[in-house]
Homo-oligomer: A and B are copies of this chain.
Amino acid sequence: MRRFLLAAVLAAAATPAFADEPIVLRGMGSFHVGGRVVEVSGKPVKEVVFSPGGVPAKLDPNGLYQVEGMYAQYFLPQNRKGKYPLLMWHGGGLTGVTYETTPDGREGWLNMFVRKGWDVYVSDAVERGRSGFASPDIWQGQPNFLTKAGPFERFRIGDGPGSWNADPAKMKVLPGNQFPVEAYDNFMKQNVPRWTTTDTAIIAAYTALVDKVCPCVLLVHSQAGGFGFKVAQARPDKIKGIVAVEPAVAGDKAQAANLKNIPTLVVYGDYIATDSRWPKMRQIGLDYADAVRAAGGKVDVVNLPDVGIKGNSHMLMMDKNNKAVADLIGDWLARQGLTE
């Protein structure tokens, strides 16, 4: 396995840059799936001027609300090579923007996998981005907001707590880090508020997405590791492969056998051993992988520094070597017979 991966990395390095080639699509678009209708009653009617200078409208908050739907955008290459759609699910506090352009303006994994011939579906989890969120009359709990220091110190860009500084010259970036630190503020603009009480709604919506567009391959990151494994456990016949990129959460070990026919790749970046939280988070993923293997499943785990890909933060799809990681994943998918 390791020998193959090394060969794949070397082959990828020899692949010519393709960013100048046009992207030819047989279709692109978006849709919403899932959600439910909830009734709110007993609230007073308001009069709202939606825009200064506009005409007042009566806003009756009582009635039926369409909530917890989920947005997905798709890009279908003309020269299709992936046997199934590839669904990209983002991590916590983020949206599908994770997979588009990098914060410093290079192509993201969406473009790269479309160029490889995959039908790609990028979604925003319930509550995030274009999926919207429900009112406090409907949802318990409050959203959390992240300071500029938060992801810098937790996503292995900086060297842990205290490493972020408003003065870039005083930031303690991990040595050799591949994250485009100069564009960190753009990354923070991508961050959106996140609830911690919406997992059930998010999993229901991802399941609705799978029911609509699968059989498919899942590519999940961070928080979406948990969503991906759990939805795969619920719909094992519809998931033909899973790529879990630094899953922060795993599935239910008691149901690990449900994944025994789904080839799975788990990828971790650099600096994990010396981080305050990531050794434990990686162990959660490794334990789950062991449970799937014990049930007869196939899980490949790649720690990128072991195959010569060094310096990756938690945001591997944005790192300066994001193409090398995409190529490793693309080659693994091909080896599973998921391309034609």
Which of A171-179, A211-219, A312-320, A321-329 is the interface stretch? A211-219
A235 within 8 A of B: no
Report yes or no: A25 in contact with B27, Cβ–Cβ below 8 A: no
- Cβ A65 vs Cβ B145 within 8 A: yes
Known: A14-B212, A30-B100, A52-B226. 18 other contacts (CB 8 A): A10-B215, A14-B213, A14-B214, A15-B119, A16-B29, A25-B25, A32-B189, A51-B92, A51-B196, A51-B226, A64-B147, A66-B185, A66-B188, A73-B100, A96-B130, A97-B130, A130-B130, A134-B145
Cα(A146)–Cα(B191), bound, Å = 25
Q: Are A108 and B16 in touch, CB under 8 angstroms?
A: no
Query: Which residues between 50 and 87 of chain A lie within 8 Å of chain B, taking CB atoms?
Result: 50-55, 57, 59-66, 69, 71, 73-76, 78, 83-85
User: Within 8 Å of chain B (Cβ to Cβ): is A89?
Assistant: no
Binds B, one of A259-267, A277-285, A302-310: A277-285
With both beta carbons as reference points, the residue of chain B lying nearest to A251 in the complex is identified as: B53
Instruction: Tell me, in angstroms, the Cα distance from A30 to B16 when the chains sit together.
Output: 10
Which residues of A1-58 have CB atoms within 8 Å of chain B's CB atoms? 4, 7-8, 10-11, 14-18, 22-32, 35, 37, 40, 48-55, 57
Are A196 and B48 touching (Cβ within 8 A)?
Answer: yes
Given contacts A84-B7, A147-B62, contact A30 B132 (CB under 8 A): no
A332: interface (CB < 8 Å)? no
Chain B positions within 8 Å of A181 at CB level: none
Whether B111 lies near A28 (C-beta < 8 A) is yes
User: Using Cβ atoms and an 8 Å threshold, which residues of chain B touch A11?
Assistant: 83-85, 213-216
The docked-state distance in angstroms from the alpha carbon of A37 to that of B167 is 13
Q: Is A129 part of the contact surface with B, judged by Cβ < 8 Å?
A: yes
Q: Is the CB of A64 within 8 A of B215?
A: no
Residue positions of A touching B, CB distance < 8 A = 4, 7-8, 10-11, 14-18, 22-32, 35, 37, 40, 48-55, 57, 59-66, 69, 71, 73-76, 78, 83-85, 92-93, 95-97, 100-101, 105, 107-108, 111, 119, 124, 129-130, 132-135, 137, 143-150, 154, 166, 185-186, 188-194, 196, 199, 212-216, 223, 226, 240, 248-250, 277, 280-281, 284
Inter-subunit contact A15/B32 (CB<8 Å): no
Closest to A136 in B: B142
The listed residue (B14, B69, B144, B216) touching A189 by CB distance below 8 A is B69
- Is B27 a contact partner of A24 (Cβ separation < 8 A)? no
Complex-state Cα separation, A94 to B305, whole angstroms: 43
Residue of B40, B49, B108, B129 touching A196 (CB-CB under 8 A): B49
Q: Given A193-B135, A213-B14, A226-B53, A31 and B101 touching (CB < 8 A)?
A: yes
Given A11-B84, A18-B26, A215-B11: A132 in contact with B192 (beta carbons within 8 A): yes
Cβ-defined contact, A249 with B51, below 8 A: yes
Contacts of A31 in B (CB 8 A): 101, 105, 186
5 inter-chain pairs at a CB distance below 8 angstroms, sorted by A residue, are: A15-B213, A31-B105, A51-B196, A53-B249, A64-B166
Question: Could you say which residues of chain B place their CB within 8 Å of the CB of A248?
Answer: 50-51, 54-55
Q: Which residues of B contact A166 (CB under 8 A)?
A: 64
